[in-house]
């Protein structure tokens, strides 16, 4: 049985008829066609599918699409700064927060969720608040540097404004 | 597309309606955050024809002052629970337990109700359909044999929620809503010592809130868990302690454990330590009664021997730290 | 030329921390990995797996599955009688088991259907009749006298027994002041690259041609195996490697996923997309084997190792895979790090009824290195020597050939030791740490590409094509597999450096068999060294073409042309031509320019002939690493916290310090996972830890700061002096960790991973012994 799903995906209104058992990650990747969000495990163990729902990080592989009715979902594809990388993305690029890049979309969204809530986290907070996300390439060292880079960039941007 | 069994999803907006839906289909399951339930559905452990999503029920998402105590809606997210000012100030063990569940993303949508009603866990149970079939299933699901204790007819799957023991040391009660109305029971009574069927909830009941009395005056409390990784992992053993002490003597001691039995349990015999000096001997004795009452089985990849050792060590450490001895 | 009349200088690319050239794609979600390919007409592929560990297959009944609506193809082991494998002598693994299954999870059938739900349902309808055979889950069981053979051609379940003796070990032991024997056990571990295996195969029925996209590190090997398995001419197959979510060695051989998907596509006469689960990715395995290493070591009073006797047994799993190579590496890599002359090696690779092992990062060396370094520390303690002292006295004295004929041209280990000793404050801190804290040291090394390729064809080791056209961009055509290690970035830097142009002018087209030159793939840390050298040669060839073109325009001889990167000129007073003008000049009369560069290893590096298989371990350059690990141990719970790691890695020359650091940190950290938390566990051959909860990859909060130091020994043959950077730092972590725990708590754990239960047991045993000793007094 399908139900009516009306939500915002990356700021755009979408209306779809979806089955109750459709996972949000499959909705995003296969119905909407946003394949930036990745799948790395069989459910909730790796964080690769992390998206923001009403601004908070959530596993799209454990979320039913239908439960997002009336909500706002943001994926990696929503980020950017006038066609260029956002501050967090720039941090991941310049500081080599991404190697193979497969955990990166989820990792960046987890960082996005964190910095919206806490724009100036210390290293310890970055570690604890991103610890649902697994990376197998970096040992996390450069991901932390990437987030710290973004914190500084956003801070100086704010000061300039 | 990930493989997902088919089911009908309902999104009621009241608890009564949810309970009514639950009653209408034996296979139905509640869905709160989904951090555990959807994993089990994907593995074919749960195969509900009806799924009742609870996230649209607004009335169960509040934390409210309730007399001297607090009333916590079952739909409160763990991430909100662990930073709530009253919880942090008056019920630190609960804040610590909630903050230690899984990882930060899980906590941002996982709920306290879900954590309390978490299914029990076992190496031979939390596996894929193919895996369980290859292993002839198990007592808890579709099978005849318990692979943890072959020959036995009991299931030893461990309850692995972190928050239950922390609530228990404060004397929490839970409100259950069913077609017959609402009832309130002490939290320990929500559980029974049976890994196969560890919840005493009637099949048409819904846990809607948790009631906390005021903490005992001057009491101190804490929760700690053992796990291999500092995040994501379920506890290998978890321990909550509440005590009040007075000049080197205890006037109250409550200890509750998780992950070392099919149910979260209050440790018995802690009253024996009240009114006596809290010296090394007493600390060792506290550790030893905890070890005796914890009965972990081979339900995780880490040996039960260690889980029993460590749960005692955690209890001893917490008592020592809280009593500053 | 700027306003001051200063000519532009060539742009520097080497030694610059250039962010990865494909970073923006990955970071914005635009990069397409194999599972990101969707087509409305694509069928979903699913694999049915064996539920038993060892059995003859009596019958596979697919009729019900075939009858299911929405099913387009069902295939079984009868689909092909051709086997696959790494070495030409052991290509006996079938993509789908035919007569026999040898491990739980081995494919027994596969389905292509309209949806994954239908495909899985169809798999459930396939009935397989097994006649079960005795199964062996440990090397010991498989080696027992009455064990039956898993494979007819491998008697006694021994894949390979390697024995060699170099020098005179008996004389070496006689020379020793102390002879000590010790044993270490390493659990099996898995790569757990974040991307589950996937393949996307399009069959063109009109032309009988096949295009396969696969998550592989070795698209060329996949191509070869597809041709063999499908019995299709290579010219009718095209293999494309999209973006890859890591590999760490598990994708260095063709996997059943891609072969099955291709067979399904041909059978269904269409496109099939198979993305397997994390559990199935664990089962496909090719991780590092469970291994026991026994080391007997002779040491002189001053710490000099006089002789080594190493006996090791590896549980290899159900098929050959890289097995023979792994057991050979485990022996050959005893050499080329310290000055050893008398060595005896006895290594057995055993076939068991568990998923096949493979070439995990640090292939072959890690577990023996772990035991070796621990043995050194155990003996240092007995002799009252400092771990650094013991390493230093055993350093290689001069470059050249080892006793085993491995060729060493650069050796930065001494400096690595100095750097981490200083950085960690070792001298002041060791022996003065508070209770529960400890420091440990570990050294390790790795090859920069195997000098003799597995598939010897007479072709060069690496080939690069460069294309230059009217647009003035230099396009690198490479078959090398970018898998996240940054190989495309390194190639851009090599080419840009030679030409002196801005790296943004250089573009990469990679790993598409229809377009790019063949490459053996990304394994054994060969790409930077071999493909980098080929890129340099190609760029030099291109530069020659441009110099000649400029010379023609300037009407001078090419030697008189000066290349300043973006400007070419024929004398300091000359205003010169821009790069684009030179390009247009070069195109005159010839059109699009394509040049080539090759690389071949030198015969001196082929590893000699002192024993059968000695070529495994031959390389053009060894990289070196030393690391110090600091831990804190909670005496109550035996929980270990890694506080910090100081690592120094000799990579010859850091072509890109940013990516070199990333590789070193990733290696150290992956070593930490093996040392502390990771282990594949089985229950009767059934993988219990086939998920990312029970297989514990360290999280953010478990991971220490890693202070990373680059040591540059400038290898004489490496590209701009470079050697490998992505493997050597792994192995050293393991012994550094066990030594740090020993330093903190006085007990040395001989079993990996060092989980708190293992450590607590030892701590309690020790306490009991001490109590007993006190009572006895």
> CA A101, CA A106: separation in Å to the nearest integer?
10
| C27 in any annotated domain | no
Q: What is the pLDDT of residues C555-582, one digit of tens each?
A: 999 999 999 999 999 987 788 999 999 9
Can you tell me the distance from the alpha carbon of C226 to that of C221, in angstroms, rounded to the nearest whole number?
8
Question: In this structure, is residue C272 part of a structural domain?
Answer: no
Q: What is the CATH number of the domain that holds C443?
A: 3.30.365.10
H-assigned helices in C614-715: 657-676
CA dist C290 to A57, B123, C187, C313, Å?
38, 21, 5, 8
The verdict on pTM exceeding 0.90 is: yes
Dist CA B260 CA B159 (whole Å) = 7
CA distance B145 to chain C (A): 15
Q: What angle do CA B132, B138, B143 make, to 5 degrees?
A: 100
Chain C CB within 8 Å of residue A40 CB: yes
Section B225-242 average pLDDT: 98
The correct CATH number of B220-323 out of 3.30.390.50, 3.30.70.260, 3.10.20.30, 3.40.50.150 is 3.30.390.50
Among C600, C630, C661, identify where a domain stops.
C600
Point out which residues pair with B215 in neighbouring strands.
none
Look-up of token digits 């006469």: C269
| Token pair recorded at residue A84 | 């260029």
Q: Give a yes or no: residue C717 inside a domain.
A: yes
Question: Quick one: pLDDT at residue B285?
Answer: 98
**Is the fold of B1-53 the same as that of B220-323?**
no
Find out whether B51 and B29 touch, Cβ atoms under 8 Å: yes
d(CA C249, CA C362): 9
Going across the sheet that includes B265-266, the strands are: B220-226, B237-246, B249-258, B265-266
Stretch (H or E) spanning C440: strand C437-447
Among B8, B38, B108, whose Cβ lies nearest the Cβ of A20? B8
pLDDT at C259 over 60: yes
Quick check: is C527 in a domain? Answer: yes
Number of CB pairs < 8 Å for A and C?
Answer: 170
Helix (H, G, I), strand (E, B) or coil at A9: strand
Q: Are residues C445 and C459 in the same domain?
A: no
CB B306 within 8 A of CB C759: no
Categorise residue B268: left if φ over 0, alpha if ψ from -120 to 50, beta otherwise. beta
C215 contacts C34 by C-beta, under 8 angstroms: yes
What whole-number percentage of chain A has pLDDT above 70? 100
| C444 in the same domain as C483 | no
Which residues of B are less than 8 Å from C189 in CB distance? none
Contact list, A85 vs chain C (CB under 8 Å): 24, 27-28
Chain B residues lying within 8 Å of C49, measured CB to CB? 130
Distances (CA, A) of C25 to A78, B211, C212, C239, C474: 14, 51, 22, 22, 20
Q: Do C502 and C594 lie in a common domain?
A: yes
pLDDT reading at B247 higher than 90: no
Considering the domain architecture, whether residues C744 and C754 belong to the same structural domain is answered as yes
Sequence-separated (6 or more) residues with CB below 8 Å from residue B213: B68, B69, B170, B171, B172
A2-77 maps to which CATH number? 3.10.20.30
| Å between A160 CA and nearest CA of chain B | 32
Residue of B nearest to C753 (CA): B228
The first and second tokens of residue B6, run together, are 């088919």
Q: How far is CA C566 from the centre of its chain?
A: 38
Chain B: closest CA distance from residue A97 (Å): 20
Domain end (from C569, C600, C631): C600
A20 CB neighbours in chain B (<8 A) are 7-9, 51
- Per-residue pLDDT tens digits for C65-94: 999 999 999 999 999 999 999 988 889 999
B43 and A42 in contact (C-beta within 8 Å)? yes
* List of chains touching A (3+ CB pairs within 8 A): B, C
Q: Is the pLDDT of residue C3 over 80?
A: no
CA–CA distance from C402 to each of C339, C617, C715 (Å)? 8, 11, 17
pLDDT at residue C571, rounded to an integer: 84
**What CATH number was assigned to the domain covering residues A87-160?**
1.10.150.120
Q: Are residues C470 and C435 in the same domain?
A: no
Is a pLDDT exceeding 70 seen at residue C4? no
Residue C208 has which token pair? 């009988």
| Residue C553 structural domain | 453-600
pLDDT digit string, tens, across residues C491-513: 999 999 999 999 999 999 999 99
Q: Which residue of C has its CA nearest to A75?
A: C29
Residues 6+ apart with CB under 8 A from B15: B57, B59, B60, B177, B206, B208
% of residues, chain C, pLDDT over 90? 96
Confidence class of residue C5 from pLDDT cuts 50, 70 and 90?
Answer: low
Classify residue C540 by its DSSP letter: H
All residues of chain A having their beta carbon less than 8 Å from the beta carbon of residue C669 are 138-141
Report the CATH number of the B1-53 domain: 3.30.43.10
Mark yes or no for CB contact C246/A105 under 8 Å: no
Number of domains in chain C: 2
Which of these, C473, C489, C468, C603, lies nearest to C544 by C-alpha position?
C468
Query: In terms of residues, how long is chain C?
Result: 777
Predicted confidence at residue C572, as pLDDT, reads: 75
Q: What is the pLDDT of residue B325?
A: 73
Backbone phi and psi for residue B99, each to the nearest 5 degrees, phi listed first: -70, -15
Angstrom distance (rounded) from CA C516 to CA C480: 9
Chain B neighbors of C120, CB-CB under 8 A: 3
| Residue C507 counted as domain residue | yes
C-alpha triplet C767, C772, C777: angle, nearest 5°: 125
pLDDT at C313 over 60: yes
Is the model's pLDDT at A161 over the cut of 90?
A: no
Residue C235 in any domain: the answer is no
What pLDDT does C632 receive?
98
A-chain CB neighbours of B42 within 8 Å are 42-43
DSSP A115: H
Distance CA B134, CA C683 (A): 11
Q: What are the beta bridge partners of residue C694?
A: none
Q: Contact A59/B105, CB-based, under 8 Å? A: yes
Does C117 contact chain A (CB < 8 Å)?
no
pLDDT of residue C488: 98
pLDDT higher than 70, residue B122: yes
- Residue C2: is its pLDDT beyond 70? no
Reply yes or no on whether the pLDDT at C455 is more than 90.
no
ipTM greater than 0.90: yes
CB C157 within 8 Å of CB C349: no
- Determine, for residues B303 and C757 on separate chains, whether the beta-carbon distance falls below 8 Å: yes
Whether the pLDDT of residue B324 is over 90: the answer is: no
How many CB atoms neighbour CB C421 within 10 A?
Answer: 22
- Report the percentage of chain A scoring pLDDT > 90: 98
Query: Does the structure show a pLDDT above 70 at C1?
Result: no
Q: Residue B40's closest chain A neighbor by CA?
A: A43
- Top residue of B99, B104, B110, B231 to mutate, by most chain A CBs within 10 Å, is B104
Q: How far apart are CA C591 and CA C585, in angstroms?
A: 10
Confidence of residue C6 (pLDDT cuts 50, 70, 90): low
Residues of chain C with C-beta less than 8 angstroms from the C-beta of B230: 699, 701-702
**What residues does B83 pair with on adjacent strands?**
none
Tens digit of each residue's pLDDT (9 = 90 or more) over C600-617: 999 999 998 899 999 999
Same domain, C743 and C690: yes
The three state secondary structure string of B65-120 is EECCEEEEECCCEHHHHCCCHHHHHHCHHHHHHHHCCCCHHHHHHCEHHHHHCCCC
Q: CB neighbours of C587 closer than 8 A, spacing ≥ 6? A: C469, C470, C593
Count other Cβ atoms within 10 Å, centred on residue C59: 10
Q: Among C544, C571, C600, where does a domain finish?
A: C600
Clarify whether residues C406 and C525 are in a common domain. no
Q: Does residue C177 register a pLDDT over 70?
A: yes
Restricting to A residues 10-29, those with a Cβ less than 8 Å away from any Cβ of B are: 19-23, 25-26
Q: pLDDT tens across B254-296, in order?
A: 999 999 999 999 999 999 999 999 999 999 999 999 999 999 9
- Report the C-alpha gap between B38 and B46 in whole angstroms: 9
- Per-residue pLDDT band for B248 (boundaries 50, 70, 90) equals confident
For chain A, which residues make up each domain, given as ranges?
2-77, 87-160
C55 forms beta bridges with C101, C132
| Pair (C523, C624) in one structural domain | no
């Amino acid at each position: 049985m399908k139900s009516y799903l009306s939500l915002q995906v990356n700021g755009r209104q979408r209306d779809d008829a979806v089955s109750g058992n459709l996972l949000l990650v499959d909705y995003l990747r296969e119905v909407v066609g946003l394949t930036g969000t990745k799948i790395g495990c069989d459910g909730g163990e790796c964080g690769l599918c992390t998206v923001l729902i009403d601004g908070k990080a959530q596993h799209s592989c454990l979320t039913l699409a239908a439960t997002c009715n009336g909500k706002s979902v943001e994926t990696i594809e929503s980020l950017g700064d006038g066609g260029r990388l956002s501050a967090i993305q720039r941090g991941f690029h310049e500081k080599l927060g991404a190697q193979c890049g497969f955990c990166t979309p989820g990792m960046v969204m987890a960082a996005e969720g964190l910095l919206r809530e806490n724009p100036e986290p210390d290293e310890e907070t970055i570690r604890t608040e991103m610890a649902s996300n697994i990376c197998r390439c970096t040992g996390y060292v450069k991901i932390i540097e990437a987030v710290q880079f973004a914190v500084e960039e956003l801070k100086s941007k704010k000061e300039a404004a | 597309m990930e493989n997902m069994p088919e089911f009908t999803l309902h999104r009621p907006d009241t608890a009564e309606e949810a309970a009514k839906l639950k009653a209408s289909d034996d296979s139905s399951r509640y869905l709160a955050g989904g951090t555990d339930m959807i994993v089990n559905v994907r593995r074919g452990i749960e195969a509900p024809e009806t799924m009742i999503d609870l996230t649209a029920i607004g009335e169960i998402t509040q934390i409210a002052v309730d007399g001297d105590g607090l009333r916590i809606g079952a739909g409160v997210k763990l991430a909100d629970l662990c930073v709530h000012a009253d919880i942090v100030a008056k019920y630190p063990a609960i804040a610590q337990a909630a903050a230690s569940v899984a990882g930060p993303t899980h906590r941002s949508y996982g709920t306290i109700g879900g954590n309390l009603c978490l299914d029990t866990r076992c190496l031979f149970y939390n596996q894929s359909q193919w895996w369980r079939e290859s292993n002839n299933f198990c007592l808890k699901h579709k099978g005849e044999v318990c692979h943890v204790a072959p020959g036995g007819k009991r299931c030893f799957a461990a309850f692995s929620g972190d928050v239950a023991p922390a609530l228990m040391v404060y004397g929490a009660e839970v409100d259950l809503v069913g077609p017959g109305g609402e009832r309130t029971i002490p939290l320990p009574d929500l559980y029974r010592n049976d890994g196969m069927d560890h919840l005493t909830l009637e099949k048409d009941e819904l846990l809607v809130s948790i009631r906390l009395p005021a903490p005992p005056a001057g009491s101190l409390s804490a929760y700690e868990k053992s796990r291999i990784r500092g995040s994501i992992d379920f506890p290998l053993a978890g321990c909550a302690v509440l005590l009040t002490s007075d000049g080197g003597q205890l006037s109250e001691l409550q200890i509750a454990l998780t992950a070392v039995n099919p149910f979260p349990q209050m440790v018995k015999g802690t009253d024996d330590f009240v009114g006596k000096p809290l010296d090394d001997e007493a600390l060792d004795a506290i550790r030893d009664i905890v070890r005796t009452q914890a009965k972990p089985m081979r339900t995780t990849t880490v040996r039960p021997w260690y889980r029993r050792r460590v749960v005692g060590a955690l209890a001893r450490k917490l008592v020592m730290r809280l009593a500053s001895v | 030329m700027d306003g001051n009349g200063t000519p532009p200088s060539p742009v520097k690319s080497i030694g610059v921390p250039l962010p990865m050239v494909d970073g923006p794609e990955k970071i914005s979600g635009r990069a397409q990995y194999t599972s990101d390919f969707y087509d409305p007409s694509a069928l979903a592929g699913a694999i049915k797996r064996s539920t038993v560990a060892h059995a003859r297959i009596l019958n596979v009944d697919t009729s019900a599955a075939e009858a299911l609506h929405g099913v387009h193809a069902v295939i079984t082991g009868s689909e092909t009688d051709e086997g696959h494998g790494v070495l030409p002598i052991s290509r006996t693994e079938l993509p789908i088991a035919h007569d026999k299954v040898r491990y739980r999870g081995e494919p027994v059938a596969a389905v292509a259907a309209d949806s994954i739900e239908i495909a899985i349902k169809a798999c459930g309808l396939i009935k397989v009749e097994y006649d079960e055979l005795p199964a062996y889950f440990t090397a010991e069981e498989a080696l027992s006298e009455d064990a039956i053979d898993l494979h007819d051609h491998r008697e006694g379940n021994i894949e390979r027994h390697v024995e060699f003796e170099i020098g005179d070990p008996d004389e070496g032991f006689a020379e020793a002041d102390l002879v000590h024997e010790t044993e270490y056990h390493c659990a099996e571990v898995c790569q757990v690259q974040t991307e589950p295996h996937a393949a996307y195969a399009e069959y063109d029925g009109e032309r009988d041609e096949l295009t396969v996209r696969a998550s592989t590190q070795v698209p060329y090997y996949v191509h070869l195996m597809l041709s063999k398995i499908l019995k299709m001419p290579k010219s009718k197959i095209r293999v494309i490697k999209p973006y890859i979510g890591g590999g760490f060695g598990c994708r260095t051989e063709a996997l059943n996923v891609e072969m099955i998907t291709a067979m399904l596509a041909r059978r269904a006469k269409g496109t099939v997309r198979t993305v397997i689960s994390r559990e199935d990715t664990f089962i496909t395995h090719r991780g590092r084997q469970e291994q026991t290493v026994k080391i007997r070591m002779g040491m002189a009073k001053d710490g000099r190792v006089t002789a080594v006797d190493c006996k090791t047994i590896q549980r290899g799993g159900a098929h050959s895979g890289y097995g023979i190579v792994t057991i050979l590496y485990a022996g050959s890599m005893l050499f080329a790090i310290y000055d050893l002359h008398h060595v005896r090696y006895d290594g057995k690779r055993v076939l068991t009824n568990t998923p096949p092992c493979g070439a995990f990062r640090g292939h072959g060396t890690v577990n023996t290195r772990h035991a070796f370094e621990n043995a050194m520390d155990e003996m240092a303690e007995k002799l009252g020597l400092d771990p650094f002292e013991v390493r230093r006295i055993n350093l290689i004295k001069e470059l050249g050939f080892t006793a085993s004929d491995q060729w060493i041209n650069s050796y930065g280990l001494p400096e690595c030791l100095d750097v981490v000793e200083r950085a960690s404050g070792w001298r002041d801190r060791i022996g003065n740490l508070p209770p529960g804290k400890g420091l440990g040291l570990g050294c390790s090394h790795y090859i920069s590409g195997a000098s003799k390729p597995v598939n010897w064809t007479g072709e060069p080791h690496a080939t690069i094509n460069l294309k230059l056209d009217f647009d003035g961009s230099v396009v690198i055509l490479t078959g090398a597999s970018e898998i996240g290690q940054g190989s495309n970035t390194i190639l851009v830097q090599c080419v840009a450096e030679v030409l002196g142009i801005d790296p943004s002018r250089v573009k990469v087209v990679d790993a598409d068999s229809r377009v790019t030159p063949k490459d053996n793939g990304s394994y054994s840390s060969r790409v930077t060294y071999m493909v980098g050298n080929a890129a340099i040669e190609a760029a030099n060839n291109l530069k020659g073409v441009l110099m000649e073109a400029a010379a023609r325009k300037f009407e001078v001889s090419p030697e008189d042309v000066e290349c300043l990167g973006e400007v070419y000129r024929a004398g300091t007073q000359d205003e010169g031509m821009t790069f684009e003008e030179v390009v247009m000049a070069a195109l005159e009369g010839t059109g699009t320019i394509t040049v080539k560069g090759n690389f071949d290893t030198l015969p001196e590096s082929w590893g000699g002939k002192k024993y059968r298989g000695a070529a495994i371990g031959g390389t053009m350059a060894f990289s070196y690493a030393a690391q110090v690990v600091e831990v804190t141990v909670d005496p109550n719970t035996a929980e270990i916290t890694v506080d910090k790691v100081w690592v120094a890695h000799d990579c010859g020359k850091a072509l890109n310090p940013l990516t070199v650091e990333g590789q070193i940190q990733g290696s150290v950290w992956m070593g930490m996972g093996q040392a502390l938390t990771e282990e594949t566990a089985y229950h009767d051959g059934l993988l219990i830890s086939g998920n990312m909860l029970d297989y514990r990859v360290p999280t953010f909060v478990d991971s220490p700061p890693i202070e990373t130091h680059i040591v540059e020994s400038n290898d004489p043959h490496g590209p701009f002096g470079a050697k490998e950077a992505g493997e050597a730092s792994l192995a050293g972590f393991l012994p550094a960790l066990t030594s740090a725990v020993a330093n903190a708590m006085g007990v040395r754990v001989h079993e990996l991973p060092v989980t708190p239960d293992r450590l607590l047991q030892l701590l309690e045993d020790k306490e009991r012994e001490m109590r007993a000793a006190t009572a006895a007094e």
